[in-house]
Amino acid sequence: MAQKGLHIVGVPKTIDNDLYGTDQTFGFDSALASAAEAVDKIHTTAQSHHRVMIIEVMGRYAGWLALASGIAGGGDIILIPELPYQIEVICDKIKERNRKGKNFSIVVVGEGARPEGGEMVVKRKIETSPDQIRLGGISHQLASQIEGVTTLETRVTILGHLLRGGTPTAFDRILASRFGSEAVHLACKGEHGKMVALRGSEIGKISISEVAGKIRKVPLNSSLLKTAISLDTCLGVAEIPISSETEIAV
The residues assigned a catalytic role are: 16
Give Cβ neighbours of residue 194 (< 8 Å, ≥ 6 apart).
Answer: 9, 10, 186, 205, 206, 207, 208
CA–CA distance, 192 with 236 (Å, rounded to integer): 44
Sheet of 202-207: strand order equals: 9-10, 194-199, 202-207
Q: How far is CA 17 from the centre of its chain?
A: 7
| Element housing 173 (H / E) | helix 170-188
C-beta atoms surrounding 100 within 10 Å? 8
CA distance 29 to 45: 25
Q: What is residue 154's three-state secondary structure?
A: strand
Q: Is the Cβ–Cβ distance between 51 and 104 less than 8 Å?
A: yes
